[in-house]
Amino acid sequence: MQRRLLFLLPLLTLALMAGFFAWSLLVGRDPAAIGSVLVGRPAPRLDLPALRAGDPPLTDALLKSGKPVLVNFFASWCAPCLAEHPLFTRLGEREGAVIIGIAWKNKRDEAEAWLKRLGDPFKSAGLDLDGKTGLDWGLSGVPETYAIDGNGIVRMHFRGPITERDLNESILPFLKGAE
């Protein structure tokens, strides 16, 4: 009888594995997500030349103004940035959000032309030509967006384009709650 029970072992293993796979599929776990260590920490330094001619350089003074700020890294050569851009335009124009734009590894002319064509929702914009600031911010590519509260603490970090859902479920509540 005891020996018979041993034959249940493979079945048990199968059940365990099936359970794990089902859990992975149902919970919506993303094994490719790399997380962010910045969330909960003060935002890294910002010290970049201005993207738009005539603007003062971009510093982190804006990050500690007491108002929540969104920081968006983008590039004119990046297609997902194109996809999320209307959401930022809406945030800037209709919701009055303070948005800082940083062109990452982008030529100034191209980034400026891109903003001229699609609309410029950025209160302040910088140019991170060599990607050093991106590295300090733990950037893995563009687009990425950070939500920073009034005390300069990073509260959210979106890797990849933000979606309508992110906007409604996370960003707007954050902007309202952090004020």
| Contacts to another protein by CB under 8 A | 32, 34-38, 105, 130-132, 134-141
Q: Which CB atom, from 137 or from 174, has the smaller least distance to another protein?
A: 137
Least separation in angstroms between CB 13 and another protein: 12
Q: Which CB atom, from 42 or from 150, has the smaller least distance to another protein?
A: 42
Q: Which CB atom, from 38 or from 51, has the smaller least distance to another protein?
A: 38
Q: Which CB atom, from 121 or from 138, has the smaller least distance to another protein?
A: 138
Environment class of 72 (CB within 10 Å of its CB; exposed 0-12, middle 13-18, buried 19+): buried
Least separation in angstroms between CB 36 and another protein: 7
Least separation in angstroms between CB 76 and another protein: 15
* Residue in the structure block whose two tokens are 């699609």: 118
Amino acid at 84: E
Contacts of 121 (CB under 8 A, 6+ apart): 85, 88, 89, 91, 92, 93, 99, 101
Q: How far apart are CA 100 and CA 91, in angstroms?
A: 12
